[in-house]
Amino acid sequence: MEIDVCCRICSGRLEQVADFGRQPLSDAFRVPAEQRAEFFFRLAVGVCGSCSMVQLMEEVPRDRMFHDGYPYLSSGSSVMRAHFAGFAERVMSEWSDPFVVELGCNDGVMLGNLARAGVRHLGVEPSGGVADRAAAQGVRVCKEFFESGVAERIRATDGPADVIYAANTLCHIPYVGSILRGVATLLGPEGVFVFEDPYLGDVVRLTSFDQIYDEHFFLFSAGSVQRMAAPYGLELVDVERLAVHGGEVRYTLARKGARDQSAAVRELLADEAAQGIADAAALRAFAGRAADTRDRLVALLTELRERGASVAGYGATAKSATVLNYCGIGPDLIPFIVDTTQAKQGRLTPGSHIPIRGPEAFRDPYPDYAVLFAWNHAAEIMTKEQEFREAGGQWIRYVPEVHVA
């Protein structure tokens, strides 16, 4: 049954366009002996008829997702380490003696670069375990959820920020109004708020429905971001398409009137309008393609099991929770998943209860097929795992559609 849900940006009415059913917390990997019942919520997506923001219909309380045991480590990919080092380099070349604040700095993958260069900075990171890792490499970090009150305190003690940065964090925050109020408080007159998140256009184009899970509350587009920023005196002044994490956009906001809007913003806005990027009908079609992917993936894995082929999963991603639980895939179809994150190893995937093993299990011996759940890191993983292919192994991918290669 569909109930009336209001947009978290403008209070407009949401129209439901996709339903991925009952889902667990995507990053709640369970110890096998755990007796407590798992937390589930309804993963459905709606689009606002007024401001066009695409968002979840149900919110998961933030402390259930982000806590001292939060397992995701941003430094786990060499491509991402280089990506964030590149951003730090850019900040250092564009600003002299800046104050940089990062929301969701995780293990310090970006701020570590600024800390080593002696740039004044502060990370705001509520997940204690990853925040400790950032601190261990010299990052100044406060273990809190950023919101407007925290921004006021930082402004009072450290002064205005030149750059506020948030990678794969803003889209995680349903209470985004408090964040933007905080940004408006903390940002210096010429400062910029730069954030990057999965791009609605790429998710729809690639049918990457696994970008939708508890932590990804919003799916931004240039149009919805521009409308979201306006009430806080902020303007969208630049956008940049990023290839990382399966297709993202890096948005730059500045105080109204402080900077000119780039041609890239006008082009992306025009592009989105021409495509009808947030049309309910287009989003329903996307949901239909996701259902096709589910049916084909389950059919393929079932056939492989019947043929007696061996299958493993590669990358116990947060994204995989949506795939596994939406498809009803368990250890009968994928007996184990390998992952380099120590905190995930020896545990079970949420909801689907597939054991997670260290990367050495992959070649002991190689399976016949491997489902690439970390498909956004395909280039990095293919390079590292060339021997798997040479040994006759084949990758199973499901973005943009199910295929074996």
Q: Smallest distance, Å, CB 169 to ligand SAH? A: 4
Helix (H) and strand (E) counts for the chain? 13, 17
Distance between CA atoms of residues 220 and 52, nearest Å: 9
Nearer to ligand JHZ, 113 or 320 (CB): 320
* Segment near Zn ion (CB under 5 A); pick from 12-20, 67-75, 135-143, 197-205: 12-20
Nearer to Zn ion, 15 or 271 (CB): 15
DSSP annotation string for 75-121 = GG-HHHHHHHHHHHHHHHHH-SS-EEEEES-TTTTTHHHHHHTT-EE
Q: Smallest distance, Å, CB 75 to ligand SAH? A: 8
Nearer to ligand JHZ, 171 or 186 (CB): 171
Given the rule CB under 6 A, which residues bind ligand JHZ?
A: 72, 76-77, 168, 215, 245, 315-319, 339-341, 344, 359, 374, 376-377, 380-381, 384
Distance between CA atoms of residues 109 and 62, nearest Å: 22
Distance between CA atoms of residues 329 and 68, nearest Å: 29
Report yes or no: 395 and 383 within 8 Å, Cβ to Cβ: no
- Please choose, from the candidates 106, 71, 129, the residue with its C-alpha nearest in 3D space to the C-alpha of residue 347: 71
**For Zn ion, how many residues bind (rule: CB under 5 A)?**
8
* Segment near ligand SAH (CB under 6 A); pick from 120-128, 155-163, 362-370, 381-389: 120-128
- Residue 292 sits at φ, ψ, to 5 deg, of -60, -45
Nearer to ligand SAH, 127 or 207 (CB): 127
Report yes or no: 124 and 141 within 8 Å, Cβ to Cβ: yes
DSSP annotation string for 120-146 = EEEEE---HHHHHHHHHTT--EE-S--
Q: Which of Zn ion, ligand JHZ, ligand SAH, none binds 48 (CB below 5-8 Å, type-dependent)? A: Zn ion
Q: Which of ligand SAH, Zn ion, ligand JHZ, none binds 103 (CB below 5-8 Å, type-dependent)? A: ligand SAH
Site for ligand SAH in 161-220 (CB under 6 A): 167-169, 172-173
Nearer to ligand JHZ, 162 or 214 (CB): 214
Nearer to ligand JHZ, 97 or 390 (CB): 390
Q: Smallest distance, Å, CB 181 to Zn ion? A: 17
- Cβ partners under 8 Å of residue 362, min gap 6: 312, 314, 338, 370, 385, 388
Encoded one letter per residue, x for contact with ligand SAH by CB under 6 A and - for no contact, window 55-94 reads -----------x---x-x-x--------------------
- 145 near ligand SAH (CB under 6 A): yes
31-34 — which CB contacts under 8 Å span 24+ positions? 31/346, 31/347, 31/348, 32/346, 32/347, 32/348, 32/355
Distance between CA atoms of residues 210 and 373, nearest Å: 9
Nearer to ligand JHZ, 198 or 201 (CB): 198
Q: Which whole-number Å values give the CA distances from 377 to 76, 184, 373, 385, in the listed order?
A: 10, 34, 9, 12
Q: Which of ligand JHZ, Zn ion, ligand SAH, none binds 381 (CB below 5-8 Å, type-dependent)? A: ligand JHZ
Q: Which whole-number Å values give the CA distances from 14 to 18, 45, 55, 280, in the listed order?
A: 12, 9, 9, 10
Distance between CA atoms of residues 224 and 154, nearest Å: 28
β-strand 40-48 against 54-56: which pairing, if any? antiparallel
Among 52, 55, 106, 211, binds ligand SAH (CB under 6 A): 106
Q: Smallest distance, Å, CB 161 to ligand SAH? A: 14
Q: Smallest distance, Å, CB 377 to ligand JHZ? A: 4
Structure-token match 């990367």, residue found: 359
- 49 near Zn ion (CB under 5 A): no
Q: Which of ligand JHZ, ligand SAH, Zn ion, none binds 220 (CB below 5-8 Å, type-dependent)? A: none
Q: Which residues bind Zn ion (CB under 5 A)?
A: 7, 9-10, 12, 48, 50-51, 53
Q: Which residues bind ligand SAH (CB under 6 A)?
A: 66, 70, 72, 74, 103-104, 106, 124-127, 130, 145-146, 167-169, 172-173
